[in-house]
Chain A
Amino acid sequence: MRFKSLAIFLIISSFFLTCILSIWKIMATLQGLSFTNLNVTPIFLIGILLPLAFVLIGNKINHLIKIFSLSFIFSFLYFYLNEASPYWYILGVFLITLFFTNKLKKYSIQSLKEDFISEKIIFDFITLFGIVFFAFVILFPFYIMLVTSFKTQIALLVNPLDFSLDFTKSLAELFKSYFVIFETYNFGRYILISSAVSIGTVIVTLLFAIPAAYAVARLNFFGKNFLSTSILIIYMFPAIVLVIPLYTVFSQLGLRNSIFGLLIVYTATTLPVAIYMLQGYFKSIPKEIEDAGIMDGQNWFGIILKIIIPLSLPAIASVALYVFMIAWNEFLFSLMFLDSPKSFTLSRAIQYLSGDAETPRQYLMAGSVIVTLPVLFIFIYFEKYLVSGLTAGSVKE
């Protein structure tokens, strides 16, 4: 029994180590190192020796000394078995091994005797592996987006694996793509348009949504239940089926190619979510506070303005951010309604750029970085609000 769990422990942990080292090797390859072999088998084999040595040594020596010396020996073996590589790469290997052996801390010959230890080992390492895997898969495209914007098309065609940045170049040269898209492709204008449309959508949506949400949350009127269920159903309805009628009507009214037309459509499509999120929050405000307001002779306008809005600022902020992100990221309507470069939003401008096969990819990626960065910054900074808003907005839980 003990032998079986020991074997599972060695295999799983070595598999995990091999995966991390392979990812490290791939990242190093993208810095221009010319590796041509992942060397999975030998690494896996010496990877088995490492946890074996770890549990055999046990508590005989201090943990820190143990992990440092084991990692050092492992890195040396790795260096010996592998193709020639610079010192920073081996240092990375050393640090990864250090992290790995530190994770082994809770295992010893004794602990391998516990109940269900093999399942626990599998769960532990799958968790670790999963985190590394998910983080890599998610962040890799963002990383490529960022570094491509600093390279040149020719360099990438010569060696598509060399994403290393040449810091000896001047800053102006490093950020050349960004200068070009602002100067030649007018991205300054598109940023302005995108911001105007998104901020405008936020303001108009809130103006419409706050009174409506208040009525749905507080007042009794005929058709209220119908309204609150239809809000969710409308939210489910697809933009693509709206496109043709809106296109024809907007063409006849001359609303195509206008920021105003876009603003109306964005507002109408985000209103249901906004009302849904806000009314949920309004319901949680104690009714007594409003009653006091009514006693003071406030009408509904005063109640909303002086009581409801100040009390629900966090919810309003999260709705505002959410609507902003929807409007900023929106692509379908801007594709359909905007044909003239004078009224492009950022998303539409990038798509327009890509329509020309001659456009070098670093410009496309620089544009992508510009459209992505504000959203990511907002998201990271206001994550708490947004996450609660997201979960409240889409599904009733």
Chain B
Amino acid sequence: MSDSLSKLEKRTAYTLVLPAVLLVFAIVLFPIFANVWISFKDIELKDIRIPEPRAKKIVKSISENQSELKIIYKLRNSSLIQEIRNVQFQDKLPTNVSPINLDPRCNFQSKKIVCNFGNWQAKYRENFEITVLNNKGEIIDKKIIKSQKPILSGKADNPLLTTNFTLENFKKVFYENNFVELLLTTFYFTFFGTVGAIIFGILAAQLVNQNIQGRTYMRGILLFPYVGPVVALAYTWTLLLDPNSGTLNALLVNFNIIEQPINLLGQKYITMSILGFEFKLRLALTTVIFFEIWRYFPLAFLFILARLQAIPQSLYEAAEVDGASPIQKFIHITLPQITAIISILFMIRFIWNFNKFEDIFLLTGGASGTRTLPINVYQQGFAVSDIGMGSAVSIVIVMLLLSFMVIYFRLIGKRANEV
């Protein structure tokens, strides 16, 4: 009895879960594996269509005799790299009209021209001509002939499913793509973006956690950048930072803080001297990192605030009695309580920043030293239109992500569970 019940339970569970699992599998997991396949293929954006035989029909009169016409079919293979096998052609003629001197590849039966063109190589082109005659010597209406569309069919391989593989893409990724620079930029962006967001998150949470008036309003306002649409926010920042008529530069010049406007998003390096040491700062990258911090510290803030509010007030009261200073209270009570959430946040934000595409794309498009791995996927796949290469970069991203996760669970995962 209970056995059949648990069977029923299982069956019900699978029916309930299956639609969601299948959908996620098709749209999320399948592409990750498909990337592996594509990354080993030499394939470009223009190749992804399945090759089709195509024909353009042109009707011409040959002489004064309106009962005789020439039909020209401009035939071609739509693909530049693949052949189409066994191309079949069919077109219909009006009543009483029949072809003369028909091509040996074709037959004329019951008003239909049927041809078998065999195999078409890649880039195949032919002007196929037929002369037609009205048997009764009447005028043939060109429009009727023209309105009838020829039907073509043929077999072609899906260029995605062929089995010729190559290692070329990975070679290009590692040797011809400034790979070290790409990796470093990605890590700078990810690391400083993450750390900055968490530091500002702690500060903001600490502030809002004080007993101030309008605390809920403040919490709402602080979350604005996180909930706002990235397109709107990125363009607003681009306007703000614009060197020619942007508000920030105009303000700084107006108050004589700087002499010349600075192109914050378009300049790769800026030379700064601090205490006599000159060093180069990646300016555009730094600006993008600041945008990133601005947009994502609210998330860190929210989680840390939730944790702070769960700390029992009695701990602080006890410390007060013992004569602890505010800094001591922060270091000895607050900090140990929030380390677990900070390490979780660090991993989440690290992974998400590592994959961040929209923000950089909208602010700089990957120019002036802000090219990160996700931007590179887009550039290779869609700007250079080398899909195979783009997939290879995707694979590199997935591999790095998996190794982060493994490292994270080894190092911090255990500790986070203890806390």
Contact = CB atoms under 8 A, between A and B. Distances in A.
Interface stretch (B84-92, B95-103, B149-157, B245-253): B245-253
Contacts of A131: 207, 212, 218
B65 interface: no
B14 interface: yes
Contacts of B294: 137-138
B374 interface: yes
Contacts of A391: 302-303, 306
B397 interface: yes
B401 A238 contact: yes
A37 B256 contact: yes
A396 to B, nearest CB: 9
B20 A208 contact: yes
The CB with the most chain B CB atoms within 10 A, among A219, A365, A380, A387, is that of A219
Interface of A: 26, 29-30, 35-38, 115-116, 119-120, 123, 127, 130-131, 134-135, 137-139, 141-142, 144-145, 148, 156-157, 160-161, 163, 208-209, 211-212, 214-216, 219-222, 224, 227, 233-234, 236-249, 251-252, 264-265, 267-269, 271-272, 275, 300, 325, 328-329, 331-332, 335-336, 346-347, 350-351, 354, 361, 364-365, 367-369, 371-372, 375-376, 379-380, 383, 386-387, 390-391, 394-395, 397
Interface stretch (B118-126, B171-179, B275-283, B354-362): B354-362
A141, A325, A365, A375 — which one has the most chain B CB atoms within 10 A of its CB?
A141
Given A241-B32, A268-B26, A371 B250 contact: no
A329 to B, nearest CB: 4
27 contacts: A30-B247, A119-B326, A119-B327, A130-B203, A142-B228, A208-B19, A212-B17, A215-B12, A234-B24, A234-B29, A238-B357, A238-B401, A240-B355, A240-B374, A242-B28, A248-B38, A264-B23, A268-B24, A271-B20, A328-B229, A371-B231, A391-B303, A391-B306, A394-B303, A395-B303, A395-B344, A395-B348
Given A383-B216, A390-B302, A397-B306, 13 more contacts: A139-B221, A208-B19, A215-B17, A219-B12, A233-B405, A236-B405, A237-B28, A242-B32, A244-B35, A245-B34, A331-B358, A332-B358, A397-B303
B27 A265 contact: yes
A220 B20 contact: no
Contacts of B250: 160-161
Most buried by A among B50, B212, B255, B378: B255
A329 B6 CA distance: 43
B197 interface: no
Contacts of B235: 350, 354, 364-365, 368
A106 B97 CA distance: 106
A245 B158 contact: no
Range of interface residues on chain B? Answer: 35 or more
Given A268-B23, A375-B227, A375-B228, A240 B377 contact: yes
B404 to A, nearest CB: 10
B1 interface: no
B210 A127 contact: yes
B308 interface: no
B221 A138 contact: yes
B229 to A, nearest CB: 4
Contacts of A38: 255
B251 A29 contact: yes
Nearest to B358: A331
A316 to B, nearest CB: 15
Interface of B: 6, 9-10, 12-17, 19-21, 23-24, 26-32, 34-35, 38, 48-50, 158, 160, 203-204, 207, 210, 212, 216, 218-225, 227-233, 235-237, 239-240, 245-247, 250-251, 254-256, 294, 299, 302-303, 306-307, 323, 325-327, 341, 344-345, 348, 351-352, 354-355, 357-358, 361-362, 374, 377-378, 381-382, 387, 390-391, 394, 397-398, 401, 405
A66 B187 CA distance: 56
A346 B229 CA distance: 10
Contacts of B229: 328-329, 331, 346-347, 368, 371-372, 375
B344 to A, nearest CB: 5
Given A120-B326, A395-B348, A134 B236 contact: no
Given A36-B256, A135-B218, A238-B401, A376 B210 contact: no
A144 B240 contact: yes
Contacts of B377: 240-241, 243-244
Nearest to A387: B302
Given A241-B394, A380-B220, A160 B357 contact: no
Contacts of B231: 331, 347, 350-351, 368, 371
A215 B302 contact: no
Main secondary structure of the interface of A (DSSP, over half): helix
B21 A237 contact: no
B158 A252 contact: yes
B49 A251 contact: yes
Nearest to B31: A245
A116 B43 CA distance: 69
B212 to A, nearest CB: 7
Nearest to A272: B24
Contacts of A161: 247, 250-251, 254
B367 to A, nearest CB: 15
Contacts of A269: 27-28
Contacts of B204: 130, 134
A35 B159 CA distance: 65
A37 B23 contact: no
Contacts of B16: 211-212, 214-215, 219, 300
Contact of B323 (A115, A120, A325): A115
B387 A244 contact: yes
Contacts of A236: 348, 351-352, 401, 405
A248 to B, nearest CB: 5
Contacts of A145: 232, 236
- Top 9 A-B pairs, shortest CB-CB distance: A238-B355, A268-B27, A368-B232, A245-B34, A245-B31, A221-B13, A211-B16, A212-B20, A215-B16
Centre residue among A329, A365, A367 by max chain B CB count within 10 A:
A329
